[in-house]
Structure 1
């Protein structure tokens, strides 16, 4: 038989453990709405609207973007911009396409580098998707279309009304 003192301590411990269990269960249920609000405040929730509108587009002005393509010396790929010029408002998302063909008789891996004119424009080009983010390996004779998804930042200088985006492929040695 247990001493009454130990029985009392066991009951008190059991009561504390039950209170902790109920609090943990309640906290678990409370986390769902708290998590939703935190995600919404941070902007990481999935939007349930179709075709979300970009409110950051500056419709008061237009920027003309010229697309240029080239291959470095020693890399005889055919590389061209399919969409050579476009006009867009700063902040507006645009997709342009490039076509590349490996004319060499062997597989080749190459990286593309972007340059801009005027040079300062590079600060205001925000790329979402680009073949320049990783090396591209093309088999002998392979032809590929590659998109670039970008926008001109609304913070771009007001007098920057024409931008040239130039991509150049360089072979990766080794």
Structure 2
């Protein structure tokens, strides 16, 4: 019986030693993984990979080198309503340089006591300017739903392509805002 007890005690001792080794290995693995974060950041900073913030915060913001400051284009804005609302641009004209990003707002007011679905269609004058008038964001890209008596400000973000022919000095952007689906919709 002493041999069996001796073997059992030796086995327990070996198990404890193995458990200690496994705990030490687990702690070292956790510590190594935790230490990798600053090491990874330093490696990325040195190599320039995946580094999002510059060291020098006084770095000048980049400017758009595509802006043609030697030219000024007058952009006139117009709004036509075909339906139960008031629709107009918030400014009548703007002076812009080709390549310069510009935003203008249009305002629409639903004058009915019901929901109205509407869409805006743009037109340009002179017609040749349409290919050079680049809209980045526009309410005309999607259908608009206006609640009863709702007023809404809608942006148009655009730039004029610097390749616009030199003889074009004025562009008119006109939107026609019309109802989709007719008057059979009920107020909700």
TM (norm. structure 2) is 0.65
Secondary structure at the residue paired with 2:140?
helix
- Write the deviation string for residues 40-76 of structure 1: whole angstroms up to 9, x where unpaired: xxxxx9999674311000111110000000112xx12
Unaligned runs of 5+ in 2: 1-39, 183-188
Cα distance in structure 2, aligned partners of 1:101 and 1:50: 42
* Residue 90 (structure 1) aligns with: 98
1:157 paired to 2:165: yes
* Residue 11 (structure 2) aligns with: none
* Residue 130 (structure 2) aligns with: 122
Secondary structure at the residue paired with 1:132?
helix
Q: 2:65 aligns with which of 32, 47, 55?
A: 55
Q: 1:78 aligns with which of 48, 68, 86?
A: 86
The 3 A distance-change label for structure 1 pair 82 and 51 is: farther
The 3 A distance-change label for structure 1 pair 46 and 117 is: farther
* Residue 4 (structure 2) aligns with: none
| 4+ aligned runs moved over 4 Å, structure 1 | 32-36, 45-51
The 3 A distance-change label for structure 1 pair 102 and 60 is: same
* Residue 79 (structure 2) aligns with: 69
TM (norm. structure 1) is 0.70
Secondary structure at the residue paired with 1:120?
helix
Deviation of 1:34 (Å): 9.7
- Write the deviation string for residues 84-140 of structure 1: whole angstroms up to 9, x where unpaired: 100011001111111100011210011101000001111001111110010000001
Cα distance in structure 2, aligned partners of 1:78 and 1:106: 15
Q: 1:131 aligns with which of 134, 139, 146?
A: 139
